[in-house]
Amino acid sequence: MSESHAVKQEESKDKDLWGPTLAAAAAILVFPLLAAFLLAGSGIAVLVAYGVIAVALGIVDALRYRPSTSHAFWFGGAVFLAYLLYFNDGAWIYAIGFPALYLAVAHGIKKVRS
């Protein structure tokens, strides 16, 4: 396989991750609103859902693609936007913690597999 073909294949793999990343961003922005109406203890449910989304994206990133920090930053941006829309002043830390969890899972799986 030629080097340019391998580079193009790697770039297309990276572009494919935008689908799960954008779906997760939509879930991050919509879930707190739905949880407020449907669940009594919505704060804990939202944090658990964000953790599950971070771990799931980290697993997808590691197993299907190469771990990328850019997608983790987009994920953190969506969490920060949700903080601005729905949460109190101390919740900004989640915009750091959940992307860190995403990266830890992605790089941890990649390291174990190699």
**Nearest CA-CA partner of 52 in 102, 88, 94, 104:** 102
Q: Is 9 a residue whose pLDDT tops 70?
A: no
Whether the CB-CB separation of 103 and 74 falls below 8 Å is answered with no
Q: How many of the other CB atoms lie within 10 Å of CB of 87?
A: 17
Integer-rounded Cα radius of gyration of the chain: 16
Amino acid at 16: D
- Give pLDDT, residue 20: 78
pLDDT digits (tens, 9 = 90+) for 54-88: 998 888 888 877 777 888 888 889 999 999 988 88
pTM for the whole structure: 0.75
The whole-number pLDDT of residue 101 equals 92
- Reply yes or no on whether the pLDDT at 98 is more than 80: yes
76, 95 Cβ separation under 8 angstroms: yes
Domain parsing of the chain, residue ranges: 17-113
37, 53, 71, 72, 97 from 20: Cα distances, Å: 25, 10, 10, 12, 19
Say what the pLDDT of residue 60 is. 84
